Structure 1
Amino acid sequence: MIKTTLKRLGIVLLLFIGYTYAELMVLLPTIRSNGRAGSVFVAGLFIVVFGVLLIVLWRTYQWFLSKEKADHWHRRLLDGKMAGFTALMVVLMYAVQIAGGLIQMSGAAAQPQNQSNLLTLMQQAPLAMALIACVGGPAVEELLFRGLLMHSLPHQDRLGWRIFAGILSSMVFGLAHTGVADPLNWAIYSALGGVFALTYAYTGDIRYSMFLHFVNNTVALML
């Protein structure tokens, strides 16, 4: 059991590194050309790079699931119950965002370095950054932090282990977006990751947390 868990965590780490390189592969051509890279080239490069990455992530996710006995994880149709729960999670997600904004406005926490970096990259490579933030990022990060990291732990058929896996996923999600030296912003990102983890744990269908992540990033980019 321990060996399997460590193996899965190692796979998650390698795929996270692959995600970092995929971002660089899409961003660097535009940055190095001082914004002269064509839109068709950037979009095509994004489709190829993130397409390959998503295929690898999805196949790995399916492999993780195939090794479990739990039947909680499967596709859920968008019925009234799922729509109501998703709407509730959207409200909770923006409650976290508003709370985070108020904390930053109070001066208790500075703007996260992650946000500063995103603003800089949006100026240097707007199309590439928009595609990564609104299309590739939500899908990749949900597969990494929810689909793979949560399933790296054993006993997914037990509620207690699912809760622990969700908490771990949220904390690592926060750590990936800010450093431990910035505890308040880490807590904000972790809380946001907690909303995504709760969505996935409740529905058992990763498409719902992907949708929430997509809405969050897209609205943030538009603002």
Structure 2
Amino acid sequence: MMSNKNKGILIFAILYTVLFVFDGAKLLSYLMPSAIANYLKYLVYVVLALYGSFLCKDRLIQQWKEIRKTKRKFFFGVLKGWLFLILMTVIFEFVSEMLRQFLGLDGQSLNQSNLQSTFQDQPLLIAVFACIIGPLMEELLFRQILLRYLRKSLPTWLSIFIVGLAFALIHMHSLSLSEWVGAVGYLGGGLAFSIIYVKEKENVYYPLLVHMLGNSLSFIILAIGSM
């Protein structure tokens, strides 16, 4: 029989998939005023992030203790990871842009457009969720749970690719060709976070902080560009 912890992890994964991959949170807008539904969606996101943290609390506590013993190693590990993320992002964004030009596609991916639009209306709120809550949720699901599980039965390189691809696909908002091309850019980040996680002996704090720093840099650039 499945243990209570594994049941909880399965519920967490299903809720995340329904609410954010298949945009189940959008159903809230049909049940109540859009302004209320929007804030309720963010509240659900916070609750789900806390639930995921609770499910992984034992490993999170253990990993935090390991970091406290090697603070210098953690600092330089995150720094190297951040530089690696930038390199991977530049490479895959370049490939994405080349594909976009070759196929004659215009504009940004819907995910980027939505972020820019929401940022202009609610800059502080979207910054908190994109730079803190979002990375926490995604690293718990994709690295701490999914990648760790896949590595038990699949080769590490294949596990990294599958999780990186899944990470890229959740940033798609439709099945249009432009969204598939846009997902190529996110694949670089998905692979980078997974490689960092494996390299740092499955300590999720490394890719988590790198993820937060990467998103924060993107939003700093976005904020400067919107001035």
TM-score of the superposition, structure 1-length normalised?
A: 0.67
The alignment yields a C-alpha RMSD, in angstroms, of 4.1
2:171 is matched with 177
5+ residue gaps, structure 2, are: 222-227
Residue 190, structure 1, aligned to residue 187, structure 2: yes
2:117 is matched with 120
| In 2, Cα distance between equivalents of 1:22 and 1:62 | 26
2:91 is matched with 96
Residue 133, structure 1, aligned to residue 130, structure 2: yes
Closer, same or farther in 2 for the Cα pair 1:175/1:169, shift >3 Å? same
SS in 1 for 2:133: helix
Residue 86, structure 1, aligned to residue 81, structure 2: yes
- Percent identity, aligned pairs only, is 22
TM-score of the superposition, structure 2-length normalised?
A: 0.66
SS in 1 for 2:152: coil
1:148 is matched with 145
Does the 8 Å contact 2:49/2:137 carry over to 1?
A: yes
| In 2, Cα distance between equivalents of 1:219 and 1:192 | 13
SS in 2 for 1:192: helix
| In 2, Cα distance between equivalents of 1:134 and 1:57 | 17
SS in 1 for 2:56: helix
Does the 8 Å contact 1:22/1:50 carry over to 2?
A: no
State the Cα deviation string for residues 168-222 of structure 1 (Å, max 9, x = none): 1111111100145333222221222001111111112111111121122111112
Residue 161, structure 1, aligned to residue 148, structure 2: no
| In 1, Cα distance between equivalents of 2:187 and 2:193 | 10
Q: State the Cα distance separating 1:118 from its structure 2 match.
A: 1.0
Does the 8 Å contact 1:92/1:195 carry over to 2?
A: no
Does the 8 Å contact 1:130/1:221 carry over to 2?
A: yes
2:216 is matched with 218
| Number of equivalences | 200
2:50 to 52, 55, 58: 55
Does the 8 Å contact 1:9/1:149 carry over to 2?
A: no
State the Cα deviation string for residues 15-51 of structure 1 (Å, max 9, x = none): 34456778999xxx9x728xxxxxxxx8xx97x7655
Question: In structure 1, what residue type is equivalent to 2:210?
Answer: L
| In 2, Cα distance between equivalents of 1:104 and 1:24 | 34
